[in-house]
Chain A
Amino acid sequence: MSTDIPESKEAAMRMADSDFAADRREHDVRSALLDYRDRIRAGELGALPAILGLVSLVVLFTALKPGTFLSKGNIANLSTQALPITILAMGLVFVLLLGEIDLSAGVASGVCAAVMAKLIVDSGQPWYVAVISAVAIGIVIGTAVGWLVAVVRIPSFVVTLAFFLGLQGVTLRMIGDGGTVPVRDDVIVALANKNMPIWLGWTLAAACAAAYAATQLLRWRRQRVRHLHSRPVELVAAQSAVVAAALLAGTYLLSLDRAPSPLITLGGVPWGVPLVGALLVGCTFVLGRTSYGRHVYAVGGNAEAARRAGINVTRIRVSVFMIASAFAAVSGIVAASRLNSVTPDSGGGNTLLYAVGAAVIGGTSLFGGRGKARDAVLGGLVIAIIENGLGLLGTKAYLSFLITGVVLLLAASIDALARRRRSSAGR
């Protein structure tokens, strides 16, 4: 009963909060934190579940496997393990934002990787021709899927299920039953197997941290000068500091010498990591700062409203499938780099489900309209940690499947419950 009094006071405060009071009121850290708590209660969870999951998994596996899980070699391993899933998931975020699904993205990544490998091995093409062709094939697949979904209006689940089956046949035809195409091109192999020079890793990390802080602070200043809605500067600074700390700590861990023998040195950030970083920055910019991104959210939130607002809904629908398949091609190339080969199974199995799982665990809603590019990175790390940690523990394969399934179900339940919470908080 003791909580009654402050709550009623708060309600009274909220009643008086009209006339843009919340925009005009000086936000201090306390009021911003109260607002944040209100948003969490109303089901606006953001990245919270993913970050909590990430931290608890790291603690769990460190406790279960001390010395090995957080060893230098394993951390580098973990980062490359997460690369293909993360890239695939980042493309899927666009599709999920519309409340659609792309079940074919995984096998599309296999087809594209096979195209790339065949071009290098059989036709002796340089790596860039192979990569551009692979991405182009991805865009073609995405266009076909998007056309069937947006123009013919077949549910995306059915279209992409058909592509999921059909594209496996394409990979099999290209590579042959039981065949393997080795990938030996230096540039492609370097993506997941070579590291940046240590100085470059540090420079990039520092530059990214500085750029992030600068954009955040500049935006804050602009909002402040024009008396717009802004957050307290302490929080902006704290957020920049946390991002900088994470970037620099990651660089530090990956820059340590992790060679198993003292004769050689092995250290530095794997080349695939800045690739994901660049994709993350690009997607975040497109989704958050351009009218295309705004329209993607609008179509996902209320397609009819978007249509009446003059947005070309069909074009947006086709475009997200193109983006997802193009990202799938990149993901297939990184996966091929990591395994040094392409097989008929590439991108098959549960690749796609892991990627959807990554996006959902990261906080992207399966109901559409909610999600960010960073969700793919957070969720991709969670999935990779589970896979990696269970592998270190020597868990039986059946148990790994069960555990990953449970985690995905948990993430989807959080999404569904948060959504219910939101709709009841609204009216």
Chain B
Amino acid sequence: MTAKGDPVLRLTGLNKSFGAVHVLHDVDFVVRQGEVMALVGDNGAGKSTLIKCVAGIHPADSGQVEFEGRPVRIGGPRDAAALGIEVVYQDLALADNLDIVQNMFLGRERRRGIVLDEASMEEAARQTLARLSVRTVKSVRQQVAALSGGQRQTVAIAKAALWESKVVILDEPTAALGVAQTRQVLDLVRRLADTGHAVVLISHNMNDVFEVADRVTALYLGRVAADVARAEVTHGQVVELITAGRSGDLGLAPTTAAESI
């Protein structure tokens, strides 16, 4: 078992090209247990591609992936799921016409013989929600269609946490939410890390990043500009890392930053 602070997922020298376009250049990326790692970068910086490499949707061209210290190969979404990597996509992957329990177990239903084991699924869903201190849900048998945006995001995140997952990747979880709902979701992200998950938070919102993240990795045109502890940087520095690839002593060497353009 890994302890808090141990690297769960470590990518070294990851490269990925789509035809002639070199999207990721020698990317190093580490996620540690019990830690929220914010992944920031401008549009086109390669955040989504990096995540898709980790999730097995676009296998990387070269580079090493280590999971809990062992070298692994992620060749497809099933490999990622088997390792315990769960991705919560921006456009919530929930079916409106099913209830919370049904959505949380979608595709991985528990059965007794050929009959669905509703009772045990309902109990497990409720335990997971309770463990994450989700208090806004009235009934786990509510249809998802009847939930607010924040509650839906909550269910999507809880779904990822249900599977003894070790790494949970959240793609802009607060993008479409109001103030109070953003609050709920950020609290949940924090609790996710506190309950022993390694969390990757992709976000454009500096307030969110500075509120919950322990570390920040900034991508600039496919390169890692910096991997820093949140406490060591300011808002302004992170914004400069995102927009220019460097900020004072931090970031890419001036020549690299310039040549990337």
A interface vs B, CB < 8 Å? 14, 17-23, 42, 44, 222-223, 226, 228-229, 289-291, 294-295, 297-298, 300-302, 304-306, 308-311, 369-370, 422-423, 425-427
Q: Mark B2-13, 1 if CB is under 8 A from A, else 0.
A: 000000000000
A22 to B96, CA, bound (A): 20
Taking CB atoms, residues of chain A closer than 8 Å to B94 are 302, 305
Decide: A297 and B93 in contact? CB cutoff 8 A.
no
B115 in contact (CB, < 8 A): yes
Decide: B95 and A297 in contact? CB cutoff 8 A.
yes
Decide: A297 and B122 in contact? CB cutoff 8 A.
no
Taking CB atoms, residues of chain B closer than 8 Å to A298 are 95, 98, 102, 106-107
Decide: B106 and A294 in contact? CB cutoff 8 A.
yes
A370 to B149, CA, bound (A): 22
Task: Please tell me which one of the listed residues B115, B140, B146, B147 contacts residue A290 in the complex, with CB atoms under 8 A apart.
Answer: B115
Taking CB atoms, residues of chain B closer than 8 Å to A20 are 126, 129, 137-140
Please name the 5 residue pairs, one residue from A and one from B, whose CB atoms are nearest each other, closest first. Answer: A309-B107, A301-B95, A301-B97, A369-B97, A22-B139
B81 in contact (CB, < 8 A): yes
Task: Please tell me which one of the listed residues B106, B115, B123, B141 contacts residue A305 in the complex, with CB atoms under 8 A apart.
Answer: B106
- Listed A/B pairs (23) with beta-carbon separation below 8 Å: A17-B138, A19-B135, A20-B126, A20-B129, A23-B126, A23-B141, A226-B119, A228-B123, A229-B140, A291-B109, A294-B98, A301-B98, A304-B93, A305-B93, A305-B103, A306-B95, A309-B106, A311-B106, A311-B107, A369-B95, A422-B145, A423-B145, A426-B145
B62 in contact (CB, < 8 A): no
Decide: A425 and B137 in contact? CB cutoff 8 A.
no
With A23-B126, A222-B119, A311-B107 given, is the CB distance from A229 to B97 under 8 Å?
A: no
Decide: B108 and A310 in contact? CB cutoff 8 A.
yes
B179 in contact (CB, < 8 A): no
With A297-B98, A302-B95, A370-B97 given, is the CB distance from A425 to B139 under 8 Å?
A: no
A308 to B171, CA, bound (A): 15
B200: shortest Cβ distance to chain A, in Å? Answer: 17
Decide: B97 and A290 in contact? CB cutoff 8 A.
no
Which residue of chain A has its CB nearest to the CB of B136?
A18
Q: Which of A44, A228, A305, A306 has the most CB of B within 10 A?
A: A305
Taking CB atoms, residues of chain B closer than 8 Å to A422 are 145
Number of A-B residue pairs having CB atoms within 8 Å of each other in the complex: 106
Chain A interface SS verdict (over half): helix
B150: shortest Cβ distance to chain A, in Å? Answer: 10
B237: shortest Cβ distance to chain A, in Å? Answer: 36
Decide: A310 and B81 in contact? CB cutoff 8 A.
yes
B258 in contact (CB, < 8 A): no
Question: Which of B60-81 touch A at CB < 8 Å?
Answer: 77-78, 81
B43 in contact (CB, < 8 A): no
Which residue of chain B has its CB nearest to the CB of A300?
B97
With A302-B94, A305-B95, A309-B107 given, is the CB distance from A228 to B146 under 8 Å?
A: no
Decide: B96 and A301 in contact? CB cutoff 8 A.
yes
A309 to B107, CA, bound (A): 5
B182: shortest Cβ distance to chain A, in Å? Answer: 16
Decide: A426 and B93 in contact? CB cutoff 8 A.
no
Which residue of chain B has its CB nearest to the CB of A367?
B97
Taking CB atoms, residues of chain B closer than 8 Å to A304 are 91, 93
Which residue of chain A has its CB nearest to the CB of B111?
A291
Task: Please tell me which one of the listed residues B115, B123, B147 contacts residue A426 in the complex, with CB atoms under 8 A apart.
Answer: B147
Which residue of chain A has its CB nearest to the CB of B102?
A294
Taking CB atoms, residues of chain B closer than 8 Å to A370 are 97
Taking CB atoms, residues of chain A closer than 8 Å to B89 are 308
Which residue of chain A has its CB nearest to the CB of B122?
A228
A23 to B94, CA, bound (A): 21
Taking CB atoms, residues of chain A closer than 8 Å to B146 are 42, 425-426
B1 in contact (CB, < 8 A): no
A2: shortest Cβ distance to chain B, in Å? Answer: 28
With A21-B138, A427-B148 given, is the CB distance from A290 to B116 under 8 Å?
A: yes
A417 to B165, CA, bound (A): 41
Taking CB atoms, residues of chain A closer than 8 Å to B138 are 14, 17-18, 20-22
With A19-B135, A297-B95, A300-B97 given, is the CB distance from A306 to B122 under 8 Å?
A: no
